Structure 1
Amino acid sequence: MPGPLTISGIDPFDDSAYDAWWEAYAAARRVDMGENAVIWSRDESRAELQQPSATTERRAFVALENGVVVGSASLGLSLKDNLHVAGIGVNVPPEHRRQGVGSALLAHVEAEAAAAGRTTLRADIFWPASAPADGAGEPGREFARRHGFAVALGDLQGRLDLPIADAVIDELLSEAPATGYEIRSWIGPAPEDLVAQWAALDASLDTEAPTGDLDIEAASADVADFRADEELVSRQGRTSFGAVAIAADGRVAAYTQIVVSRDDGNAYQWGTLVRREDRGRRLGLRVKLENLRMLQRHSPATTRIYTFNADSNTHMLAVNARLGFRTTARMAELQKRLS
């Protein structure tokens, strides 16, 4: 007979507790998304939970029944900006769904968020591109709807299969000459002379890119915090590829970043942003192409790139389409106000 359900926090330095938490998370993601599931590896998630951070407090929880983990959850509390927001995740493997596990985990993290003074909850859910565009009937979407979460922003997951022929890249580069701008690219941490401007652009991404109804503010642009994030990337065994366009006045006009996972071998397109005053010059396309070419030269074993863009961001989606990305899934950025 099933026993009572209990929720408890885990110590990320306790390998057995952490492994059970991660297995529940990964199992839930795999069943919902198949081969296009975007899953942080066991070691990547462990490194994030274990790293002391000046910007984010991270907590992890498991639901236990008869001593067996039947679900997991996470809570992220920003410490320098967006102090009203809590980022949450709830994951239940398919064999334990529709038994109240997800609801119990959600109630627990909501209470933790409220106790921390947070008034807005954010969460991301995914469903395959083959499903209805609004996610109707999909487990995550229906669960979120029942518990009062609304879609604040819809995103498309795109996948680009590599390699892309140099001739194709060269043809596209000819359409984005970036006249008057210097293109610089590198592998690893941002160069010292560019890091402050890179961090500032990266911090503004959440508010400069389409935000829909998201209740958010720009993130901290502190260079020390940015360097700490780069250190985490290194500890996770990931490799960062970065490119910028520099205007004649020396200011960074556009940036883009791809991060390759050592564990799954995939590349992930992270931020791409062009300053407002430099838009309309195809700089987004230029830096993405330069970064793609560098990735293919230095990481030839990488066979796919995943990216996410707001479905309202028609310009960036057009850029991605020119590169050959195809839509493989949808993601909903959910929001719920506690007060």
Structure 2
Amino acid sequence: MSFEIACIDPFDDSAVDAWWEAYAAARRVGMGDDAVVWSREESRTELQQPSATTRKTAFVALENGAVVGSGALTLSLTDNTHVAGIGVNVPSEHRRRGVGSALLARIEQEAAGEGRTTMRADIFWPASAPADGAGEPGREFAARHGYEVALGDVQNRLDLPVSDEMIGRLLTTAPAAGYEIRSWSGRVPEEFVADWAALDAILDTEAPTGALDIETASGDVAAFRDDEDLIVRQGRTSYGTVALDRDGRVAAYTQIVVSIDDGNGYQWGTLVRREDRGRRLGLRVKLENLRLLQRLSPGTTRVYTFNAESNEHMLAVNTQLGFHATARVAELQKRLV
């Protein structure tokens, strides 16, 4: 069966709405309340955001003028310029008809035309399903099209509030002697932003990477501020905590971002500098940030986080905080050459 694959205008509200509805419907299949879906307005804002570092293009599959699937191509313009981020989402009622294959072929063609040689995509399945995703539609589709699992992750959820008593008890196990702890909401203060951006840039390569074909990002402050601008435009609120060494340099950082639409908190980066590891600073900054979040955003009842299955240390920290697994995530990869 033949489908029309078209790019959409990010400023055409009806086109973005139809694209997003197909994306959201596909992502929610089998995931229930634990489907992690960017909201309609968050997605619209991302597509419209001018950026010198990232370009995202949205695609739809059309049948008789109706949207039956959605996709996206995300390209970094400054780092990892050999990589293309691929998204293909088909609602359950339109699956097994060639919609996803048609979308994927077009998006891969566009990526290759931009000189990208490594395709990356993420798929989700419930924690109750087999750990390797056997039998799950996304996993089977990916395998048929040559995508292999480069890294397996776990999606975990923390139900809030966590009692002050529990936080206090855990804090005693992470005293952070010799470090100063600073926390805030909103943009990273100017005095910390260069160190924060530098740590944030190496997060993807300092954490377990499995077989992922990625390079360390540049840590450019202007690019980081652009990302913060997007957070603000999306109506999200960022909560950050750092541990400072005696010279005032950032030794560890963590960040939770709260969506104005679903009210959930999303744990973004947490990283400790190599020379400061082994002092439980990761636990300390996460506890302090959680305490800040609960004080300033009492309506937030859930926090989601994603960690590599091989990252035993961070998974142990999350278990101490009370996180539990709700889904598995496969970071997929395919090399075109």
TM norm structure 1: 0.99
Gaps of 5+ in 2: none
> d(CA) in 1 for partners of 2:103 and 2:217?
28
1:128–1:330 Cα contact (<8 Å) kept: yes
Gaps of 5+ in 1: none
Post-superposition CA distance 1:48-97 (Å, at most 9, x none)? 00001111111000000000000000000110010100001000000000
- Match of 2:307, SS state, is strand
For the pair 1:119 / 2:107, whether they are aligned, the reply is no
Match of 1:228 among 215, 226, 229: 226
Counterpart for residue 25 of structure 2:
27
> d(CA) in 2 for partners of 1:206 and 1:164?
28
**Same amino acid, percent of matched pairs:** 77
- Match of 1:204, SS state, is helix
- Match of 1:122, SS state, is strand
Letter aligned with residue 84 of structure 1: H
> d(CA) in 2 for partners of 1:207 and 1:148?
24
Counterpart for residue 216 of structure 2:
218
Letter aligned with residue 68 of structure 1: A
> d(CA) in 2 for partners of 1:148 and 1:312?
24
Counterpart for residue 241 of structure 1:
239
Counterpart for residue 152 of structure 1:
150
Counterpart for residue 135 of structure 1:
133
For the pair 1:69 / 2:67, whether they are aligned, the reply is yes
> d(CA) in 1 for partners of 2:217 and 2:63?
39
Deviation at 1:12, TM superposition (A): 0.8
> d(CA) in 2 for partners of 1:134 and 1:263?
32
> d(CA) in 2 for partners of 1:301 and 1:52?
31
For the pair 1:312 / 2:310, whether they are aligned, the reply is yes
> d(CA) in 2 for partners of 1:144 and 1:285?
36
Deviation at 1:32, TM superposition (A): 3.4
> d(CA) in 1 for partners of 2:56 and 2:289?
31
Post-superposition CA distance 1:112-150 (Å, at most 9, x none)? 000000000000000000000000000000000000000
Alignment of 1:1-339 (within 5 A): 4-339=2-337
Deviation at 1:40, TM superposition (A): 0.1
> d(CA) in 2 for partners of 1:190 and 1:235?
16
1:4–1:66 Cα contact (<8 Å) kept: no
> d(CA) in 1 for partners of 2:66 and 2:287?
48
| Corresponding residue pairs, total | 337
Deviation at 1:250, TM superposition (A): 1.8
Deviation at 1:218, TM superposition (A): 1.2
Post-superposition CA distance 1:234-275 (Å, at most 9, x none)? 000000000000011221100000000000010000000000
RMSD (Å), alpha carbons: 0.7
- Match of 2:188, SS state, is coil
Which portions of structure 1, spanning 4 or more consecutive aligned residues, are displaced by more than 2 angstroms?
A: none
